[in-house]
Amino acid sequence: MAQDETQVTALDLAMADPLSDETKAYFAKCEEKLGMIPNVLKAYAFDERKLRAFSDFYNDLMLGDSGLSKLEREMIAVAVSAVNHCYYCLTAHGAAVRGLSGDPAFGEEMAMNYRAAVLTEKQKAMLDFAVKLTEAPDRIEEADRQDLREHGFTDRDIWDIAAVAAFFNMSNRMASATDMRPNSAYHRMAR
Amino acid sequence: MAQDETQVTALDLAMADPLSDETKAYFAKCEEKLGMIPNVLKAYAFDERKLRAFSDFYNDLMLGDSGLSKLEREMIAVAVSAVNHCYYCLTAHGAAVRGLSGDPAFGEEMAMNYRAAVLTEKQKAMLDFAVKLTEAPDRIEEADRQDLREHGFTDRDIWDIAAVAAFFNMSNRMASATDMRPNSAYHRMAR
Amino acid sequence: MAQDETQVTALDLAMADPLSDETKAYFAKCEEKLGMIPNVLKAYAFDERKLRAFSDFYNDLMLGDSGLSKLEREMIAVAVSAVNHCYYCLTAHGAAVRGLSGDPAFGEEMAMNYRAAVLTEKQKAMLDFAVKLTEAPDRIEEADRQDLREHGFTDRDIWDIAAVAAFFNMSNRMASATDMRPNSAYHRMAR
Amino acid sequence: MAQDETQVTALDLAMADPLSDETKAYFAKCEEKLGMIPNVLKAYAFDERKLRAFSDFYNDLMLGDSGLSKLEREMIAVAVSAVNHCYYCLTAHGAAVRGLSGDPAFGEEMAMNYRAAVLTEKQKAMLDFAVKLTEAPDRIEEADRQDLREHGFTDRDIWDIAAVAAFFNMSNRMASATDMRPNSAYHRMAR
Amino acid sequence: MAQDETQVTALDLAMADPLSDETKAYFAKCEEKLGMIPNVLKAYAFDERKLRAFSDFYNDLMLGDSGLSKLEREMIAVAVSAVNHCYYCLTAHGAAVRGLSGDPAFGEEMAMNYRAAVLTEKQKAMLDFAVKLTEAPDRIEEADRQDLREHGFTDRDIWDIAAVAAFFNMSNRMASATDMRPNSAYHRMAR
Amino acid sequence: MAQDETQVTALDLAMADPLSDETKAYFAKCEEKLGMIPNVLKAYAFDERKLRAFSDFYNDLMLGDSGLSKLEREMIAVAVSAVNHCYYCLTAHGAAVRGLSGDPAFGEEMAMNYRAAVLTEKQKAMLDFAVKLTEAPDRIEEADRQDLREHGFTDRDIWDIAAVAAFFNMSNRMASATDMRPNSAYHRMAR
């Protein structure tokens, strides 16, 4: 629950020291592009192998080629994180939805209840699938995949919707398990 | 639900063709060590970048250094998959628990209800945490972490317990979302 | 889900026209003190008797005498609304927590997951009670009331904690049932 | 759980003493019309301002003009209270359904499981909406409102269905939070 | 939901015709002792072998030797049926609790929310176990059995508590699956 | 959780001693036909009247005449037991599904998630009904029965589907309440 400013999680796991040149370069790039080093990266940096595995996985998923736009991937991230009430991910990815959409209220809707947002039917189907996969993965059936196809998604798109929703079910749990604290800068972004 | 023998998921996503030399070598190593290429790897192989990101992440998590034994990591994997009723992961990792423990009934207990198994208090605390993190991540509080510390786990161990539980919350959802089919050989292993 | 800017709910219920002098005066006072007429009041204004009953009830509860501070009442309001994923109440009362606490991040924590916030033990007990009452009212027992007493709350305080939590269980449902839209000004307040 | 006969809740909150003339007159009217003062009114009477706010709100909602009959409003009250297992409200409003319908078994059906009752399709839709709003308010969507319209309800009726269901989600929680005891006379009424 | 007066369930399954002498004698005994043939027996009478298996099982469980009194067994029956919202069992066994306890309000408390009743700590532990076994059988652990022992129950008593709770989890489901209708006489008994 | 090899449950309830000739003959028949005495029978044998009532009920249900095949009844047993995470029943009846179907993987699918299996639409409807009856018996409505009829089930079949699902909701709870241990031989059967 509580920790002082210098800790990014409730676990006593110090960053590797010294950091490798590779990590230093990665963090420098974050500072340059985002104006900060996201705390999730600092949290993984107690073990640079884990940091690299996490960031490789993340960057391919959220920034790599996909039939889903970056905004759509962030919408899934936030709608999933809302189900799991994840403070870290709602803060960091809520800021991303506000920024990418240029619509602060839309970011809030994703973080509070995506059903309150004005969505295309295709986007609604995408988020309904992501949320069902979050709440009751064992109940996904062929009919759910078929519904996505009928809304215009390809099988590759379905993989990507599932992959983003599944990833945030992992990240939400890492953040909750460790009480990961978001960088305070996120709160003011794109308001 | 249904698919013919040659498909590993319900999605129409063919493996990269030709596979890169790196992937060929990796698959050859699987055949050699496991006697098969786990279907999850074939499922990711439609995009070799995704395959590599997944297997790097997985191998560090489940096979890398940790205060948790490989068996303990597999126990977490299966107890989490039981909550999520994941056919793929219960099959593949249930076989791993049977094999690593040398106790087929113990593998069944993990896959059916870990509370039916004879466990040390420390292992019970580990699985209780993993299952709470699965079912209600938003309810994890400092008291839950403290309980693990009092059972003898270090903060690094707590990270690893969380990381394995969180990862299978992702993998269970990828498998359910795509109707991933386990290799049939798992069913007969270590009975 | 969707409606044009001039509607405050998805129901076709026009405000009384003309409004009574009493309502006009009340709305003028809102404009003066808050800079806006909260949409919830416009929503009830199709029937001025209902508007008056609602605002009398609300004003006594949230602004009247109580052993709970206004901030504490708003914290309960938001923690309850987070359980119910209520877009209207999280937006309007999240702004109130940010404003009254002077701490934007604290408002976000209440709206996302109160367990992520730094709270006194007394405040934690208050919110735990409010959230249990929201999720499982039938499970409240004497032990729950006794726990509040042991944290220093009087029986009158317990009434007020219950009353605020119960009220927002009503308001969350009115907002969700009617797709009530918060004034957009809330999003920018006290950031 | 337990309290002696003279207490109406588990909280030590004495009625205002002396009661105002207004409250005395109101209680006298209750005695005359109902043969008793409902304990919920005694519970609120520790603060006559709260008593008046509650009874104004209640009387408009349950006795005021509406497209819903008084019986229909009581049916919603009881179906909602059954979900929340509220002893006070099931007892008091169960008696009302038995009395207004002239059918004791119907009152029991509402209190035990409304799905066991013989209902018109329109009434069934009304109760299905009220129960969904109770159990999962965040899942109400335009389709739910549209379903009510297609069963012949106006938008004003939808407001009233929502308002009664929402109100009893408040009242059930006040009763559970305070262990409010129903007047024993209710048990024998309209059997 | 709806059926005419002559049917005891929603299934079109006529009683064996003619009934065997054994069944006739059993039904005559019911009429004599209870003043009616409970509809559940008529429901099973389409197959007299099933009727006999059911009534043998039931009579041993609810009327045979046990450390639990008949009232305690009926209390468990009703508390379990309340969780499952079973109209048939709440009606029939609610009447039994009213009759055996001589306290109509106590019967209502069992049927609405056993936590509202004045119970000994031992009885409270008994019903808490029965309700946990109903809601989350997979979470029963040795600590739950030990808690019963510490409240003075023998291992044989624990078997009986479990057996009654488990049986009504079966009967509640038979009644709900078939829309079984209770004899209307139950409603007026022991009020 | 833990007990030594000679105990079949966590309760200290010794088998009747000496066993009656009837019980001895029954147990001898089990040994002959199954190669073992199922532990559930030993568990009930502390009271031979209970043992007989249980086995009469069970044998009629699972082995008697029915429009459902023995395999279909075992499929229901296992799908229900998977919802309830019952170690005893998943082990014993999982073995039965593997044996009767001649398809070990099919047995695993029933025990892990029946939605992963290749089923006829009729069998899928049967299991969907059984699982809904398990998870939310109060929500079964005429539409659920009608759906079974439209898939070709008679009203007698519906009774039998309900009866098997309901029975295992009882048996799962007896096994969980007493920590009943399955005979270890089940694990190796029909792999």
> Coil, strand or helix: which one is F72?
helix
| E and A touch per CB criterion (3+ pairs under 8 A) | no
What mean pLDDT do residues B30-35 have?
96
Among B3-12, B122-131, E29-38, F54-63, where is mean pLDDT lowest?
Answer: B3-12
> Is the pLDDT at B1 greater than 50, yes or no?
no
pLDDT tens-digit map of C145-169: 999 999 999 999 999 999 999 999 9
CA torsion F178-F179-F184-F188 (nearest 10°) is 110
User: Does the CB of B85 have a partner CB in chain E at under 8 Å?
Assistant: no
Q: In chain D, which ranges are continuous DSSP H helix?
A: 21-34, 39-44, 48-63, 70-83, 87-101, 104-112, 121-135, 142-150, 155-178
Tell me how far apart the alpha carbons of residues F92 and F84 are, in angstroms, rounded to a whole number. Answer: 15
Q: Verify cis geometry, omega within 30 degrees of 0, for the bond prior to F182.
A: no
Residue C38: pLDDT band with limits 50, 70, 90: very high
Could you tell me what percent of chain F has a pLDDT over 90? 96
User: What is the per-residue pLDDT for A3?
Assistant: 40
Spell out the domains of chain E, with CATH numbers in brackets: 19-63 (1.20.5.810), 70-188 (1.20.1290.10)
B-chain CB neighbours of A167 within 8 Å are 170
Please identify which residue in the block is written with the tokens 């508390």.
Answer: E79
Question: Chain B closest CA to E154's CA: distance in Å?
Answer: 22
User: Does the CB of E139 have a partner CB in chain B at under 8 Å?
Assistant: yes
CB proximity list for D8: less than 8 A, separation 6 or greater: D39, D42, D43, D180, D181
> Coil, strand or helix: which one is F45?
coil
Question: Chain D closest CA to F139's CA: distance in Å?
Answer: 7
| C-beta atoms of B116 and F1 within 8 A | yes
| C-beta atoms of C187 and A113 within 8 A | no
Tell me how far apart the alpha carbons of residues F112 and F116 are, in angstroms, rounded to a whole number. Answer: 8
Touching chains, E (3+ CB pairs < 8 A): B, C, D, F
The type of residue at C5 is E
> Is the pLDDT at E4 greater than 60, yes or no?
no
> Is the pLDDT at F123 greater than 60, yes or no?
yes
> Is the pLDDT at E138 greater than 80, yes or no?
yes
User: What is the per-residue pLDDT for D57?
Assistant: 98
Structure tokens at A148: 């996505």
Structure tokens at A142: 């062929």
| CB-CB contact of B178 with B11 (8 Å) | yes
Q: In chain E, which ranges are continuous DSSP H helix?
A: 21-34, 39-44, 48-63, 70-83, 87-101, 104-112, 121-135, 142-150, 155-178
> Is the pLDDT at D1 greater than 60, yes or no?
no
User: What is the per-residue pLDDT for B6?
Assistant: 66
User: Which of B115, B127, B128 is the best residue to mutate to test the E interface, defined by the most E CB atoms within 10 Å of its own CB?
Assistant: B115
Look up the pTM and report it: 0.97
User: Does the CB of F115 have a partner CB in chain A at under 8 Å?
Assistant: yes
B-chain CB neighbours of E133 within 8 Å are none
User: Does the CB of E113 have a partner CB in chain C at under 8 Å?
Assistant: yes
pLDDT tens-digit map of E68-124: 999 999 999 999 999 999 999 999 999 999 999 999 999 999 999 999 999 999 999
pLDDT tens-digit map of B125-180: 999 999 999 999 999 999 999 999 999 999 999 999 999 999 999 999 999 999 99
ipTM: 0.96
Tell me how far apart the alpha carbons of residues C57 and C67 are, in angstroms, rounded to a whole number. Answer: 18
Q: Find, in chain C, the residue whose alpha carbon is nearest to that of B139.
A: C115
User: Does the CB of A138 have a partner CB in chain F at under 8 Å?
Assistant: yes
pLDDT tens for chain A, 191 residues: list them.
Answer: 334 446 899 999 999 999 999 999 999 999 999 999 999 999 999 999 999 999 999 999 999 999 999 999 999 999 999 999 999 999 999 999 999 999 999 999 999 999 999 999 999 999 999 999 999 999 999 999 999 999 999 999 999 999 999 999 999 999 999 999 999 999 999 99
| F and C touch per CB criterion (3+ pairs under 8 A) | no
User: Which of A110, A115, A127 is the best residue to mutate to test the D interface, defined by the most D CB atoms within 10 Å of its own CB?
Assistant: A115
